[in-house]
Amino acid sequence: MVATSTRMAIVGAGNMGEALLKGWLAKGVVQPEDVSVAEALPQRRTYIANTYQVDVHASIEQVVQGAQVVVIVVKPNQATQVLPEIKAPLDPKALVISIVTGLSLQQLQKELGRQIAVLRAMPNTPCLVGASASGLSPGRNVTPEQEALALELFQAVGIAFILDEHLLDAVTGLSGSGPAYVYLIIEAMAAGGVHAGLPANVAKALAAQTVLGAASMVLNGNEHPAVLREKVTTPAGTTASGLLVMEEAGVRAALMQAVLSATQRARELRECS
């Protein structure tokens, strides 16, 4: 369990920053009094402070000073401005966790110092409900204890895997962008239900619960998704008819290509940064 005395700084309180903060507080792995948040927007600072009862400041230096874990959650185009502000007050023994898409471990080391322990993480927004899927890649200075701490933080809000850095682009394309793919699927399934005569609220709930249930069957069992699909597909039945339409429309290929395209875009962002 993360020590309650561990001081954490979160730089950036956008959607992902808030999602992680909310998830960690809900799971009790960090305490409000041990968290400081740096946020540029005044209205956002007020909201985060009032909602989560944590210290929130405009000054990155004020937040990072004395922190044992620093989590960077800013947009890629903000990173070049933020990193120098983090470096000045940074404790040399601190663990820096970056959730900046495309920002490599090598770049982090260059900007923050060769001796600093840096770790890249790619979670997704379902950490808000304790259902995130994350890939973590530690730099060479990260100790086993720091790696275990980072793994605990992200496992507290879902599942997490330690991976080689070159695989984080694929994590971005699959689980980082993946919730948007699933939302589109739920939206489309619900729309189909409405066209079939169901009330909109019922169709949405049925579609979302169906996705949740199917995902739980995959995660909680040992069978491949293809085997589970076959089990609910009766020859010449309703499911077989629906699957035929999906195959003819190229849904399978489109989802595969979406992951590959998002992976390539993540690679491009990394190479351009």
Q: What predicted TM-score, i.e. pTM, was given to this entire model?
A: 0.89
249's tokens: 């429309």
Q: Torsion angle, CA of 134/139/144/148, rounded to 10 degrees?
A: -20
- How confident is the model over 151-180, as pLDDT tens digits? 999 999 999 999 999 999 999 999 999 999
Side chain identity, residue 16: M
C-alpha 134, offset from chain centre: 6
Contact indicator for 175, 163 with CB cutoff of 8 Å: no
The confidence band for 80, taking pLDDT boundaries of 50, 70 and 90, is confident
Asked if the model's pLDDT at residue 47 lies above 60, the reply is yes
- Which pLDDT score, from 0 to 100, does residue 1 have? 53
Q: What is the pLDDT of residues 81-140, one digit of tens each?
A: 999 999 999 999 999 999 998 889 999 999 999 899 999 999 998 988 889 999 999 999
Question: How far is residue 58's CA from residue 46's CA, in Å, rounded to a whole number?
Answer: 11
Sequential DSSP letters for 84-131: HHHHTT--TT-EEEE--TT--HHHHHHHH-TTSEEEEEE--GGGGGT-
Residues 212-270 have pLDDT tens digits of: 999 999 999 999 999 999 999 999 999 999 999 999 999 999 999 999 999 999 888 77
Nearest partner of 63 among 88, 80, 81, judged by Cα: 88
CA distance 75 to 266: 13
- CA 191 to the chain's CA centroid: 27
Would you give the DSSP letter of residue 139? Answer: -
3-state secondary structure of 130: coil
DSSP run (H or E) holding 19: helix 15-27
Token pair 């729309």 is at which residue? 191
| DSSP class per residue in 151-212 | HHHHHTTEEEEE--GGGHHHHIIIIITHHHHHHHHHHHHHHHHHHTT--HHHHHHHHHHHHH
pLDDT of residue 124: 92
Q: What is the mean pLDDT of residues 51-64?
A: 95
CA-nearest of 34, 32, 60, 59 to 48 is 32
Is the CB of residue 141 less than 8 Å from the CB of residue 117? yes
Domains of the chain: 8-168 (3.40.50.720), 178-270 (1.10.3730.10)
Mapped onto helix, strand or coil, the DSSP state of residue 104 is coil
What are φ and ψ of residue 133, in 5° steps? -125, 120
pLDDT, position 101 = 84
Integer angstrom CA distances of residue 154 from 18, 41, 67, 173? 14, 26, 18, 18
Residues 6 or more apart in contact with residue 195 via CB below 8 angstroms: none
Tokens of 137: 């890649």
pLDDT at 2 over 70: no
> Cα 272 vs. chain centroid, distance in angstroms?
22
Residue 20 has pLDDT above 60, yes or no: yes
Which one-letter DSSP state was computed for residue 218? H
Give me the mean pLDDT over the 2-21 stretch.
Answer: 86
Burial class from Cβ neighbours inside 10 Å (0-12, 13-18, 19+) for residue 47 reads middle
pLDDT digits (tens, 9 = 90+) for 60-74: 999 999 999 999 999
pLDDT over 80 (residue 198): yes
